[in-house]
Structure 1
Amino acid sequence: MLPSPVLVLGLLGLLSPFAAAALTAPSDVAALASVKAALAASSIPPRSCLATWDFSAADPCATPRRTHFVCGVSCGATDAGGATRVTAVVLEDAGYEGSLSPAVGKLSFLSHLDLSGNSFKGPLPSSLRHLLRLRTLSLSFNAFSGTIPSSLGDLRAMELLDLSHNQLTGRVPAELARIGALRSLDLSYNKLSGRLPAALPPSLVALALRGNALSGPISRATFAGLHRLEVAEMAANRISGLVEGWFLRLPALQQVNLANNSLSGFAVGEAAPPPPQLVALDLGYNRIEGELPAELAGFPVLTSLTLRHNRIKGAIPSQYAGGKTGSPLRRLFLDGNFLNGKVPQGFLGGVAVIGRLGDNCLEGCPDGEDLCQPLQKPPEVCDEMYGAVRPGL
């Protein structure tokens, strides 16, 4: 490889006895130095990765790394000029505090950037759009603010994007749908608002939007093309409307969590093969009215169903207990509704089902059964819900 001591010294302004043996592209060295300089020196612990980044003593890509650049940076690729390029910056959760330098966008061979679990703050730099080789971007558990740059949609090679647990605001950019390789998208626990985007990356396997202020219905246009989606985690938002059968029957969908939203009902309906792959469905703490859909008993691998604390009326479908297709229900949480009638016998007597049927209007649910806890609602509450008049009134 060709040494470049003059360029390195010019960019960094440092006099180093190791300059003649430089390996790393000068632009990468300068970018790494800027990333470190943008952090508060007091937030860099003495034995941390960044504490070993001493540009006056060693080249970032030189080996062996016994005392300097011992962690946090990886190298591998070589550019057309023969210089070694930085391919990954992965910092430990050491409490680094400061902003993310826009110079990070000059690490043009970077494939992995992980700064999670620290105290980075301020906006996400728009220069991230230049990292066209980036495959994973994890900035979770920091204090980034502002909006998510729509230009992240230009990072077509990215497979994982995790911006969860920050203070990001605004909408989920529709431009993210352009990332054709994206398999995992996690924007949970921010301050995002507005409706779900009109489209999402078609290659998604896992989607997590939990703990924001997203609103509006679950649009078929947004999800219908997600044939690989296995996990949809959208709890603790303001999503409204119906839970429809086309969504629950997405061909690869296995886990859905829409708890703590403003959903109002079901429209499951019957469907032709192939059978749905849904294993777990959580719709607790919504505003769902109507009756329990018997059609869910036709989901062959559905073993966990949570609909607690809604406004569901009517009887528990007998198919849930004895006539369910495929695997039986193993977890069933229906407490906090207005279900009436008798408990299907298949759920009583020590069968292998964990859950709660209490705080309803059910008959024949023995107090001694764990499944029947807590106690049923007072009769007058149930009468009011069903419009009944009790004797003597």
Structure 2
Amino acid sequence: MPLPNLNLHHHVHFHLLLLHISLLISTNHISPIQALTSPSDISALKAFKSAVKPSSIPPWSCLASWDFTTDPCAVPRRTHFTCGVTCSPDSTRVTQITLDPAAYSGTLTPLISQLTNLTTLDLADNSFSGAIPSSISSLSNLQTLTLQSNSFSGSLPPAISNLKSLESLDISHNLLSGFLPNTLNSLPNLRRLDLSFNKLAGTIPKLPPNLLELALKHNSLSGSIPESVFAGLTQLEVIELSENSFAGTLQSWFFLQPSLQQVDLANNSLTGVEIPPNGGGELVALDLGFNRIEGYVPVNFGSYPVLSSLSLRYNRLRGRIPVEYGRKKSLKRLYLDGNFLIGQPPAGLVTGGNGVSGSLGDNCLQACPASSNLCMPSQKPNAICKQAYGGGRGKPRS
């Protein structure tokens, strides 16, 4: 059939319209839908969502927008896969799964291993449970693994040691049990390790060589803190091991670690501490409270140049508070309460306007001025102090 006879005006208008559409596309004002995602990535995402209980997926959540009638990496994402998934620039591979805290419950599918380009897996603040699948070791590009505040159980799979690109591992606030893998030191790029608030037992294995932050608080770890575990960790800045059952003496090598800034070993069973005179160059905060440390208050802390916060509260310390503590300009927080300290506190600590907060209370100090907040709570009764010192000849009794 012959085309209708268009007059010249309509003919020109039609060609101008085609030209306008062509220009819009070439300048990206119109982005055609791309459907390029790797089939193995799509099947992994389907398995991931299928392992989450449908009743735990709120209609407003990221997972609710995962509708597989469309391509997961298609652009633009106006109605589906609006959050929770990040793709590579060419829209062919999934590179990140970062879920919202929507109380999702379910398990982590072993098919997660198919997402071999994944660099971030973050499921924090949800209700995932079950074991962490060993197949996670196939995620050779994974840099950040964040599973904190869920209900994952079982042991930490040794296969995690195969994640050579891993930089941050946070599985704190879960139900992990068993021992720590003795192959953790084979993670060359790991900078941050947080397994706090679990049920882990045993001793600390040798640690990754480039670690900056170590947090193993509130577990059931025990034994001594040996030098071999920390050997060569020249970049380690933060050590948080409170609320475990570590015992023995914390030896002088510990305070000679060159980058150490913050240490929390409170609520353990340590009985001694050796403080070298030339350590603690970077140490800012140290908490050794609620242990069983005996002996005198370490005078060498007075020479640590940037030490700002020190807690030795509720141990079995005796003797006098070193006068060096009263002269220490960097010191802002000092907790020595709950020991058996005697004598008068250094004037520099209890005079007004020194800027030091904390407590020297519940000791055997004399003349701790009531005008100083540091002297609260009140000192122990004389009878307890005399008994503790055995008439002045011994160390405090248990």
User: What TM-score, normalized to structure 1?
Assistant: 0.89
Give the aligned partner of residue 313 of structure 1: 318
Give the aligned partner of residue 51 of structure 2: 38
Give the aligned partner of residue 160 of structure 1: 168
Q: CA deviation at 1:67?
A: 0.3
The one of 243, 257, 267 equivalent to 2:250 is: 243
Matches within 5 A, 1:142-181: 142-181=150-189
Give the aligned partner of residue 303 of structure 1: 308
The one of 357, 360, 365 equivalent to 1:362 is: 365
Matches within 5 A, 1:327-338: 327-338=329-340
Give the aligned partner of residue 184 of structure 1: 192
- SS of 1:342's partner is coil
Task: Note the alpha carbon deviations across 1:217-236, whole angstroms, 9 max, x for none.
Answer: 11100112111011101110
CA distance in 2, matches of 1:337, 1:131: 51
1:374 counterpart = 2:346: no
Q: CA deviation at 1:32?
A: 0.2
- SS of 1:361's partner is coil
Task: Note the alpha carbon deviations across 1:110-169, whole angstroms, 9 max, x for none.
Answer: 000000100100000011000000000000000000000011011011000000000000
Contact 1:145 1:169 in 2 (8 A): yes
Q: CA deviation at 1:77?
A: 5.7
- The residue identity in structure 2 corresponding to 1:61 is C
- SS of 2:79's partner is coil
CA distance in 2, matches of 1:300, 1:368: 29
Task: Note the alpha carbon deviations across 1:236-288, whole angstroms, 9 max, x for none.
Answer: 0001111222112210000000000001111113337xx62100000111111
Contact 1:160 1:184 in 2 (8 A): yes
Give the aligned partner of residue 282 of structure 1: 287
User: What TM-score, normalized to structure 2?
Assistant: 0.88
- Quote the sequence identity (%): 52
- SS of 2:121's partner is strand
Give the aligned partner of residue 253 of structure 1: 260
Give the aligned partner of residue 77 of structure 2: 65
> Which has the greater radius of gyration?
2
1:111 counterpart = 2:119: yes
Indicate the structure with greater strand content: 1
Matches within 5 A, 1:91-106: 91-106=99-114
Give the aligned partner of residue 391 of structure 2: 388
Contact 1:61 1:75 in 2 (8 A): yes
Contact 1:163 1:187 in 2 (8 A): yes
- The residue identity in structure 1 corresponding to 2:109 is S
Moved over 6 A (4+): none
Give the aligned partner of residue 210 of structure 2: 203
Contact 1:151 1:175 in 2 (8 A): no
**May I ask how many residue pairs the two structures share in their alignment?**
359
- SS of 2:113's partner is helix
Q: CA deviation at 1:21?
A: 5.2
CA distance in 2, matches of 1:344, 1:114: 50
Contact 2:34 2:75 in 1 (8 A): no
- SS of 2:153's partner is strand
The one of 220, 223, 226 equivalent to 2:227 is: 220
Give the aligned partner of residue 10 of structure 2: none
List gaps (5 residues or longer) in structure 1. Answer: 1-19
- The residue identity in structure 1 corresponding to 2:261 is Q
CA distance in 1, matches of 2:299, 2:374: 20
CA distance in 2, matches of 1:260, 1:319: 26
**For the aligned residues, what is the CA RMSD?**
1.3
CA distance in 1, matches of 2:367, 2:80: 71
Give the aligned partner of residue 17 of structure 1: none
Contact 1:249 1:278 in 2 (8 A): no
